[in-house]
Structure 1
Amino acid sequence: MFPGGGQPNMQQLLKQAQKMQEELARAQQELAEAKVNGTAGGGLVEATVTGAGELVALTIAPAAVDPEDTETLADLVLAAVRDATATAQKMQSDRLGPLAQGLGGPGGGIPGLPF
């Protein structure tokens, strides 16, 4: 597990954990600032979410508004938000996935750590 089969150097482990924590915080900040769009109805409805998944804007084209059919509009809004959220989740996975893999699984390979 460790070179020479000995115990890990605690200072080195702490340094590595701190570096990974900093990288994770940086990635989370980048995700919070990033914005992605999702659309529905051929662009009649557009939703914008942050990389962290927060809905920050919703645009509805006048052509999508029919007072006699609000159900379709609601469906378009949901579809656009889901589209944007799926894109944000992929962005999260792409950005945070390598950091999670660097932790080496549960506990980051450090006994006693649950995450």
Structure 2
Amino acid sequence: MQPGGAPNMQAILQQAQKMQEQLLAAQQELAEAEVTGTAGGGLVTATVSGSAELKSLSIDPKVVDPDDTETLADLIVAAVRDASNNAQKLQADKMGPLTGGLGGMMGEGGLGGLQLPGM
């Protein structure tokens, strides 16, 4: 901040640009990353992208019982849920430092203490 309390808009804009670039890079990394989740001791494995898009599902033939499709369905749901939770953890690891920085930049009531309508 410059003397007198007026924010340096150029510095704020440069910081915002840098954060946007880092955010886009992290989003790209997440889209390319893959995490897995399992259920039934590994009988069902779900693979999702870092952005939680289901990519694949692997089912061990030992768990397929035509007379008990409910158990299979439960295992699939559990594996996908586990994979989604792992993707959320990855997202928090990748995005947390970036999105946490927004709070510091925004400050009380606006950008770097700058009072903006509606903020």
Give TM-score, length-normalised by structure 1.
Answer: 0.90
Residue type of the alignment partner of 1:108: M
Distance 2:74 2:23 in 1: 35
Residue type of the alignment partner of 1:18: Q
1:6 Cα deviation from its structure 2 partner: 1.5
Cα 1:113–1:50 change in 2 (3 A) is farther
Residue type of the alignment partner of 1:61: D
C-alpha deviations, 1:12-61, integer Å up to 9, x for none?
A: 11111000000000000000000000000011000000000000000000
Q: Which runs of 5+ in 1 are unaligned?
A: none
1:3 Cα deviation from its structure 2 partner: 5.5
Distance 1:28 1:114 in 2: 28
Q: Which runs of 5+ in 2 are unaligned?
A: none
Determine the structure 2 residue equivalent to 1:17. 16
Identity %: 63
Determine the structure 2 residue equivalent to 1:108. 106
Determine the structure 1 residue equivalent to 2:88. 89
Residue type of the alignment partner of 1:63: K
Query: What count of residue pairs does the alignment treat as equivalent?
Result: 113
3-state SS of paired residue (2:56):
strand
C-alpha deviations, 1:56-115, integer Å up to 9, x for none?
A: 00000000100000000000000000000000000101110110111125x733144989
Cα RMSD (Å): 2.0
Residue type of the alignment partner of 1:12: A
Residue type of the alignment partner of 1:90: K
3-state SS of paired residue (2:103):
coil
Give TM-score, length-normalised by structure 2.
Answer: 0.87
Give every structure 1 segment of 4 or more consecutive aligned residues whose post-TM-superposition deviation is greater than 4 Å.
none
Distance 1:41 1:101 in 2: 36
